[in-house]
Amino acid sequence: MPTEKKSKFIVFEGIDGSGKSTQVKLLASKLLKNNISHVLKKEPGDTIIGDKIRKLLSEDSDMSSLTELFLFSAARKELVDKEIIPALENETLVILDRYIYSTIAYQGYGRNIDLEYIHHLNKMATSDLKPDIVFLLDIHPEISSSRIDSKKLDRIESESIEFYSRVRNGYLEIAEANPNTWMIVDASKQPEQIHTQIWDRIY
Ligand code: TMP
């Protein structure tokens, strides 16, 4: 008889201002309340090297699209090897705020880098580790941009509505092509309503 996999790998994706981080926090606090042990991580970062890369990526400096791609991939390699794989091997529930799909959407659809290169790099960085569930917090870029404080925008958040429309379309294409794994959530709804939808999908 096949043994049931105890670990679960859950990913959250969405454009900046979609409310993704709020949902991650709501889920983590509900898991805590229910005594369900879990590991919560965020890309890029959450390793010594990854945190340095995150800082580099957010600084307001001129950076080529390929440099950006390599930096996100390097941060991901560190996180997957040092945190995600060990946690899953330990049969822990892993929640990850952004994963390979951010690179496909932002660097692929947003920056127009060849998707074949990106798929190859993503595979190298993750040993092709795939999540069990991906929640896409979907929202129109006009709405998401109004949620972000315009005085605190970082390098990527300062991109145009057109850029974010391409990123959003990229996410929707991936989600629609993978309906068994992906759940598209209407991120313009109330946070508690979205949270209930997410919880019901997991449990
Ligand atoms: P955050 O705001 O969710 O912390 O994400 C950091 C920023 O980095 C956000 O603007 C999305 C962007 N990003 C990419 O462009 N490609 C990636 O692969 C990842 C993980 C994030």
Q: What would the mean pLDDT of 155-166 be, rounded to a whole number?
A: 95
* CATH of segment(s) 9-202: 3.40.50.300
Q: Which residues does 123 contact at the CB level (< 8 Å), separation at least 6?
A: none
Q: Does ligand 1 have an atom closer than 6 angstroms to the CB of 98?
A: yes
Mean pLDDT of the 156-172 span: 96
pLDDT score, position 61: 81
Query: What integer pLDDT is reported at residue 1 of this predicted model?
Result: 52
Average pLDDT of the chain is: 95
Give 4 Cα–ligand 1 centroid separation in angstroms: 33
Among 12, 16, 18, 164, which is best to mutate for testing ligand 1, by the most ligand atoms less than 8 A from CB? 16
Sequence-ordered alpha helix ranges (H) in 84-155: 85-89, 100-102, 115-126, 141-147
Task: Decide whether any atom of ligand 1 lies within 6 Å of the 51 Cβ.
Answer: no
Q: Is the pLDDT of residue 6 over 80?
A: no
User: Is pLDDT of 92 > 90?
Assistant: yes
- Of 131, 130, 134, the closest CA to residue 183 belongs to 134
Write down the pLDDT at residue 111. Answer: 98
Looking at residue 143, its pLDDT comes to 95
Domain range summary for the chain, segments of one domain joined by +: 9-202
State the pairing for strand pair 8-14/38-42.
Answer: unpaired
Residue 90 pLDDT more than 90? yes
Decide which of 22 and 1 is more confident. 22
Q: Residue 3 pLDDT > 70, yes or no? A: no
